[in-house]
Amino acid sequence: MHKLENKVALITGAASGMGRAQTILFANEGAKIIAADINLDGLTKLAEEISSQGGEIFVVQVDMSNLESIKKAVNAGLDQYGQIDILSNTAGILDSYLPSLETSEELWDRVMDINIKGIYRITNQVLPQMIEQGKGTIINIASIGAFVAGGGGAAYTSAKHAVAGYTKQLSFDYGHKGIRANAIAPGAIETAMTKHFITEGSAEGLEAVKAVPAGRCGQPEEVAQLALFLVSDDSDFIHGTVVPIDGGWTVK
Active site residue 174: no
Beta strands 179-186 and 86-89, pairing class? unpaired
Tell me, letter by letter, the H, E, C secondary structure of 23-67. HHHHHHCCCEEEEEECCHHHHHHHHHHHHHCCCEEEEEECCCCCH
Longest CA pairwise span in the chain (Å): 53
Which amino acid is residue 50, in one-letter code?
A: I
The residue from 81, 97, 120, 156 that is catalytic is 156
Packing angle between helix 154-174 and helix 118-133, nearest 10 degrees?
20
- The catalytic site residues sit at 156
